[in-house]
Amino acid sequence: MRINTKLCTLLGVEYPILQGGMAWVSTAELAAAVSEAGGLGIIGSGHAPTEWLEEQISKAKRLTNKPFGVNIMLMSPFTEQNMQLIIQERVPVVTTGAGNPGKYVPALKGIGTKVIPVVASVALGQRMARAGVDALIAEGGESGGHIGELHTMPLVPQVVDAVDIPVIAAGGFFDGRGLVAALALGAQGIQMGTRFMCASECTVHDNVKGVIIKAKDRETVVTGRTTGHPVRVVRNKLTRHFEERERQGASPDELEKLGAGRLRMAMVEGDIQQGSVMAGQICAMVKKIEPAADIIQDIIGGAEQVIGRLARGEF
């Protein structure tokens, strides 16, 4: 049995698995390893300058000749320059977040780049589909980082029913059981971030990997709801302080300043108490550091077993 969906054909990959484009986490090393293993690796540009992204794209091209992607945060001050770089470098896939990539779609599609925005609602998914994007990532609130209000189980089938382009499910996926569930909901594949943070090729600080491996089922919390930009992170001294300031009625501006620079503090510098350790609810399922190829094979092998068991009526 081979799990091959329309998404595989669209992206030119072997398996319908995308690695999330996480800022300060998804560098060329991780993205190339995932692509080499048959998935789609994605470089997370975050708010990094164009020079950094150019270096990462160049490195990814040296490490793999397979398709890879770049995630663009549309709120970044470097968005215009980064998009021009992507066009210049003819990056195969672009995923986007925090905005509408509509004005970039014609130029990107003109060079054959696949455009796949992250959406957290049906209305946004429909708007993106009308803009001519190639697929959608429907991301539920179980995911790490910035989240919407809906969770994966209700969000994905609603988006699938509302558009006529492939939908990728994200938020709460860890192994083959999740992949099969996503396919059952009508998705053409999954995007995962948190498990890939503990890939051996991931350059995130070892302290962060240690926190994820030790995490329990209720380890993550959502902060920033009062700012309009809720974020799922692992509980630590920063989150407790943030929650206290929210209860005290701190302004959105004050809270935004409190969170500024905290992601890099955790992911690069290794401060797991005062830094922002963005991770999804599945972090409690991650038990070891392993190569990206082993992660992908575990997911595919597990999915094949589940499909076979269900086909035999072994519920």
Q: Which of 72, 90, 93 is nearest to 81 (CA)?
A: 72
CATH number at residue 56: 3.20.20.70
On whether both 136 and 266 belong to a single domain, the answer is: no
In a domain, 38, yes or no: yes
Same structural domain for residues 95 and 230?
no
State the amino acid at position 42 in one-letter form: I
Give the pLDDT of the chain (315 residues) as one tens digit per residue.
578 899 999 999 999 999 999 999 999 999 999 999 999 999 999 888 999 999 999 999 999 999 999 999 998 899 999 999 999 999 999 999 888 888 999 999 999 999 999 999 999 999 999 999 999 999 999 999 999 889 999 999 999 999 999 999 999 999 999 999 999 999 999 999 999 999 999 999 999 999 999 999 999 999 988 888 899 999 999 999 989 988 888 888 888 888 888 999 999 999 999 999 999 999 999 999 999 999 999 999 999 999 999 988 988
pLDDT at 252: 85
Q: Is residue 261 located within the same domain as residue 303?
A: no
Domain count, the chain: 2
Angle between helices 237-247 and 252-259 (to 10 degrees): 170
- Confirm whether 36 is domain-assigned: yes
Q: Sheet containing 93-97: which strands, arranged edge to edge?
A: 17-19, 189-192, 167-170, 136-139, 114-119, 93-97, 68-73, 41-44
- DSSP conformation class of 39: S
Instruction: For residues 303 and 301, give the distance between their C-alpha atoms in angstroms, rounded to a whole number.
Output: 5
| Cα-to-chain-centroid distance, residue 241 | 26
Helix, strand or coil for residue 72?
strand
- Is 37 contained in some domain? yes
131 domain-assigned: yes
> Whole-model pTM?
0.93
Whether residues 233 and 95 share a domain: the answer is no
**Residue 269 CB-density burial (10 A; 0-12 exposed, 13-18 middle, 19+ buried):** middle
Let me know if residue 148 belongs to a domain: yes
3-state secondary structure of 125: helix
Residue 172 and residue 280: Cα distance in Å, rounded?
A: 7
Domain match, 46 and 165 both: yes
Examine the domain organization and report whether 84 and 192 are in the same domain: yes
Do residues 53 and 95 share a domain? yes
pLDDT for the residue numbered 1:
59
Beta-carbon neighbour count of residue 203 at 10 Å?
A: 14
Judgement on whether residues 110 and 193 belong to the same structural domain of the protein: yes
Kindly state the DSSP code that residue 235 receives in the 8-state scheme: -
CA distance 173 to 117: 18
Based on the fold, state whether residues 257 and 171 are members of the same structural domain. no
In a domain, 33, yes or no: yes
Instruction: Count Cα neighbours of 8 within 13 Å in the Cβ-side half-sphere.
Output: 11
Q: Is residue 52 part of a domain?
A: yes
Range of the domain at 166: 6-203+288-309
DSSP 40: B
Paired sense of beta strands 220-223 and 231-234, if any? antiparallel
Same domain, 180 and 232: no
DSSP string, 267-304: HTT--TTTS--B--GGGGG----B-HHHHHHHHHHHHH
Name residues whose C-beta falls within 8 Å of residue 251's C-beta, 6 or more positions apart in sequence.
Answer: none
Q: Are residues 151 and 256 in the same domain?
A: no
First-to-last CA distance in the chain?
A: 19
Domain match, 23 and 171 both:
yes
116 within domain boundaries: yes
